[in-house]
Structure 1
Amino acid sequence: MKTLKKNTLVVLLLMATLGNAQLSPEQEKQVEEAEKMIAKAQKIQDSLMNTPEMNQLMEQIRGMEAEYEKERQERKQQAKKNQKLETAKTNVNEPAHLRHLIITSGGSKKFNDWSLGQVAIILTTHKYKRGDVFDKRTIGQINVDGGFTITFPESMKVQTDGPPITNYFNTTSDGTNDNKTQYTGTDTHVCKASIRIEGSNEHMGSLYLATSRQLVWNDSPAGWNRGDTGYRISLWYANGRATVKANTTRMVPVTDHAEIAKKIPMTEVYDLTLKPGLNFIKVEIIGTQYVGDVPYYKTIKYTTIEQLPTDVKWVYSKY
């Protein structure tokens, strides 16, 4: 059949070449013979194509084509399913609200995914409410490989012309309970410290101490009432001695961000003994209660600790 097609093409090419030329009697005879040959070839091809064997073969070919198309569509659908599964895994393992946070492994001082080069670690204190930097110290450095060293100063400047400690660590009232926070050393002034990252004198993010990235995010307004287990640690400097004691339960309106809305009991506990200079305050979630799939804490407890726990991790946030 391939030879037949080849000869037919040659004849057609010859006819096209001679089509507009003046033909001799001999050439006209050749063209007539060519036309007869083409007609004969077409009859032969038609007869071959109409045999039961050829019809069966063509049916098999069409069946194979249909099967191939079916398999192709199945592979396409499976690829879509696999993509959805991978996306789901990514969403579970890397929630969007945590993607700007990276965390050290174990108790090490190293970020394995570090890409910001060598930067300085800066400790700052700020004026009450205004946010102006009151004191600023370089306390360490993150190296190119993500490893870092850090040393906290025993003292930082504390704003003494601002509000005293009684303006801090207040329990929240829901209208049915009184503010029952009890203080000693009420003339003591305190100041919360922040750990900043700077490169070329530009702010490049912050460092936090917590057992997970989620606990760092929970220190933002969107996560204040969440009940993810673990703790975070904040740094406070004081210019004197003081204690803070409270244990208050309030009814808090909560939701599952969909259909459920109700009030649940949430307890705040303060058990702080502050000394002059640096104080580590541990903020721990104790107990979880769910509204739909959303976790809320049962108790949040604030305590002073002498040194950093061995299981605490360092968390970097670029915001």
Structure 2
Amino acid sequence: MHPVKPALIVICGPTATGKSGLAIALAKHLQTAILGADSRQIYREFDIGTAKPSPDELGQVPHYLINICNPQDLFTVAEYQEQAQSLIDRFQNQGKIPLLVGGTGLYIRSIIAGMKIPRVAPQPKLRSQLQALSQPQCYAMLQQVDPQATTKIHPNDRVRTLRALEVYYVTGIPISEQQGENPPSYPIWQIGLDCFQPEHLQARIAQRTTKMIQDGLVEEVEILCEKYGANLPLLDTLGYREIKQYLAGEIDLATAEELTILHTRQFAKRQRTWFGANEQIQWFDSEDPELVEKAIEWIDTALCTVIR
């Protein structure tokens, strides 16, 4: 590889479309590293249910931002952005183009749009005091301290109202003055993976769910429940919630599998909507037998524009 100017490659798209496999192939071709962009794969011990790359895959090329948090820890988008951007800067300074890979749209947007995110950690005591008030009361308070924010926050949006008040009372600065975007100046090439025939993605989701159960998802959930308690928030996420219902005797395993498939399909639809709004993404068919070759050719062509 010739030295290149700073740049970034993104691989995104709905779940179960093969992002990890393509990323490994591209990382080998470019002799670079993969930075995870998955809000659950950052947590240790949550492996099977998050479709985390296998130990063998993790060993093929350097991976970062995977297995960096304990399950009971809170990891904010602001923290993700800070760590991801630091790694991007490091690899770019080494003359490499890192790959940002995953399906968490907000993580990816925080980097490619340069989102300005208030560095205010959740404040349980303050939040508790605010939650004791009604939504109309909280919204009226927000109108007083940050009227600009209320032009973008619906009067019934309690979550964003409380967050805006929290930021203001901690920093003394309206959240509307702390938000915005400052996109990176370097080029960003975005590859989107999807099944151009929707029924193919449905089949991939069903096959992957069955394999997760065969690979020990039930045992993984049992261990996590015993170690951290069934009320751990991560255990109420996709795949883990349904198996936890099975372990509690609320449903049988077949139903848990069916529900996981259904909920994963619904999640993939939401991801498709999110990424579909980004006109900068170059889409590739996950089912294309020449996927890797076509993606490498597209990237190599783009690279010609930044080689010194």
Range class of TM-score, shorter chain: under 0.3
- How high is the TM-score relative to the length of structure 2? 0.22
Greater strand content: 1
Greater helix content: 2
Larger Rg: 1
- Could you say which structure has the greater relative contact order, defined with CA pairs below 8 angstroms and 6 or more residues apart? 2
